[in-house]
Amino acid sequence: MSKVLPISFEFFPPKTEAGKEKLVTVHSELAALAPEFFSVTYGAGGSTRSNTRDTVLGIKAAGSDVAPHLSFGGDDETGVLELLNSYRDAGIRRIVALRGDLPSGMGRAAQLVHANELVEFIRKHFGDHFTVHVAAYPEIHPEAASYKDDVHWLKEKFNAGANSAITQYFFNPDAYFHFVNECHKQGVDQPIIPGIMPITNFTSLQRFSANCGAEVPRWMVQKLKSYEDNSESMVAAGVEIITALCEKLVVGGAPGLHFYTMNQINPTSAIVRNLCG
Ligand code: FAD
């Protein structure tokens, strides 16, 4: 499948030596699935600045195309420019440009810079050097004033020069197709790639989903709840659910799939292999 439909894999930058060693293996196993690129997240407020950079450079050195996530975080223009220059000099050709969130405890002490302004900044200083991906929210960003407003701001990110969007994860394909349709109506014709969250842990999935505004449908909650004491069965049920979701997205015309791997080979690898088979 990856030969006809581009896939990409997201990592977070590991903090420990053991995590770093494990990621080398995870990267090498997932690279065998021929993704278009990997991406590496950036901690709220720029808290993983050097860790993200080191992880990105390690993946690049291992021979893969890789996109650092980036937000202004705690940096001023000079700091962001410095980081972007270092990526350009290392041969990096993609960026995932975000507003990001404030780290907990920072309150209103820091100013967030919207992603459309970061995209403008990248285009102003680097022209077309970077392919720029931005975030999109089929179930609408939790802070958005309205559905219409969120579509408007996504369009502004494209107007500023973004090449494609990767979505927040969702479990209802209709939410994605409706969103893409609404974007088309507003003149957005750039690719909007579904973000896919494989299921590993029911409790953390519920907590995380509540925070980021992703709805876990009742039928999924009821089904996964029954496996709370059996993580192996939960992962197997999750692989089945997410494979079916991906199949619907592919059949419905999604231009690619971006997997939130949580730095694990499985269940992402199992899902991709199901789709290929
Ligand atoms: P924006 O596009 O700036 O939007 C934020 C909110 O403001 C929305 O409600 C939007 O409607 C509104 N808005 C947008 N532009 C304007 C404007 N110019 N004026 C007024 N309102 C505006 N978080 C991390 O900390 N690190 C990561 O690495 C990371 N990676 C992510 C990758 C993907 C694919 C996705 C979907 C999310 C990721 N996030 C990450 C989470 C993201 O940082 C949060 O969702 C954050 O709250 C919004 O970032 P954004 O880039 O979508 O912001």
pLDDT, one tens digit per residue, over 89-148 is 999 999 999 999 988 766 555 679 999 999 999 999 999 999 999 999 999 999 999 999
Residue 172 forms part of a structural domain: yes
Number of structural domains the chain divides into: 1
Residue 246 forms part of a structural domain: yes
Domain containing 188: what range? 7-276
Residue nearest to atom 11 of ligand 1 (CA): 150
Residue 256 forms part of a structural domain: yes
Q: How far away, in angstroms, is 231 Cα from ligand 1 center?
A: 32
The CATH number of whichever domain residue 79 belongs to comes to: 3.20.20.220
Ligand 1 pocket residue status of 99, Cβ below 6 Å:
yes
- Active-site residue, 10 included: yes
Residue 2 forms part of a structural domain: no
Q: Is the pTM higher than 0.85? A: yes
Atom of ligand 1 nearest to the CA of 41: 28
pLDDT at 106: 60
pLDDT at 4: 62
Residue 24 forms part of a structural domain: yes
DSSP string, the chain: -TTTS-EEEEE----SHHHHHHHHHHHHHHHTT--SEEEE---GGGTTHHHHHHHHHHHHHTT--EEEEE--TT--HHHHHHHHHHHHHTT--EEEE----PPTT-TTSS----HHHHHHHHHHHHTTSSEEEEEE-TT--TT-S-HHHHHHHHHHHHHTT--EEEEEE-S-HHHHHHHHHHHHHTT--S-EEEEE---S-HHHHHHHHHHHT----HHHHHHHHTTTT-HHHHHHHHHHHHHHHHHHHHHTT-S-EEEE-TT-STTHHHHHHHHH-
Residue 1 forms part of a structural domain: no
